[in-house]
């Protein structure tokens, strides 16, 4: 009885159940998380009114997502956890009520739209002028698109297709 219990413990995580879609999603999530520490927004050195955080960031300084946002950065960290949770569920062999990859795809899509809105569509943060986009913004946008693509890849290509009735 002791040997059979030890055998089952070896199957705790079966990484062979993971597809390239999960690995791509986890890589995109890590890149998105790291992008939060890169400069997302820049101020102008020639315009004294170009400032963020009530003047704490001004005169050509750069600001990361952690310095500028109060809620979006936390939401993006939570979004980064989605591919890891999916991989954990699949490696443990649990049954899902949805197609694997759908949640990662939706979370990636939501993160992409949130980043796009908080820099391009709804404008730059703060009530200031001459705020530019830094490299971290574009890396985060690309990483969110990577999560979306990874979720799509997983749910579209690596699931068993249903056959119509009567087909062998």
14-43 per-position pLDDT tens digit:
788 888 889 999 999 999 999 999 999 999
Tokens describing residue 42: 């820049």
Is 163 contained in some domain?
no
SS (H, E, C) 33-86: HHHCCCEEEECCCCCCCCEECCCCEECCCEEEHHHHCCCHHHHHHHHHHHHHHH
Q: Please check the confidence at residue 115 and state whether its pLDDT lies above 70.
A: yes
Q: What angle do CA 48, 134, 67 make, to 5 degrees?
A: 70
Is 21 contained in some domain?
no
Is 33 contained in some domain?
yes
Is 23 contained in some domain?
no
What is the CA 82 to chain-centroid distance, rounded?
8
Number of domains the chain contains: 1
Residues pairing with 133 in the sheet: 41
Dist. CA 64–CA 76, nearest whole Å: 13
Tokens describing residue 168: 């062998």
The mean pLDDT of the chain is: 86
Is 167 contained in some domain?
no
Is 16 contained in some domain?
no
Is 56 contained in some domain?
yes
Q: Which of the 8 DSSP states describes residue 101?
A: T
**Domain span including residue 93:** 28-157
Query: Would you say 43 and 130 are in contact if contact means Cβ atoms under 8 Å apart?
Result: yes
- The mean-pLDDT minimum among 28-37, 118-127, 143-152 falls in 118-127
pTM assigned to the model: 0.84
Is 3 contained in some domain?
no
Tokens describing residue 62: 């750069």
């Amino acid at each position: 009885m002791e040997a059979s219990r030890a055998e089952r413990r070896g199957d705790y995580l079966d990484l062979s159940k993971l597809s390239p879609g999960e690995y791509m999603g986890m890589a995109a999530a890590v890149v998105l998380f790291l992008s939060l520490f890169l400069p997302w927004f820049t101020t102008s050195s020639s315009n004294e009114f170009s400032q963020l955080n009530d003047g704490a960031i001004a005169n050509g300084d750069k600001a990361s997502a952690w310095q500028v946002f109060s809620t979006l950065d936390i939401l993006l960290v939570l979004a980064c956890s989605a591919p890891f949770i999916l991989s954990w569920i699949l490696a443990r062999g649990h049954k899902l009520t949805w197609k694997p990859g759908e949640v990662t795809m939706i979370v990636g899509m939501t993160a992409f739209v949130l980043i796009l809105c908080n820099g391009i569509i709804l404008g730059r943060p703060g009530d200031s002028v001459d705020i530019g986009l830094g490299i971290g913004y574009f890396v985060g946008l690309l990483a969110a698109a990577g999560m979306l693509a990874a979720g799509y890849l997983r749910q579209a290509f690596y699931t068993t297709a249903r056959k119509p009735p009567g087909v062998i």
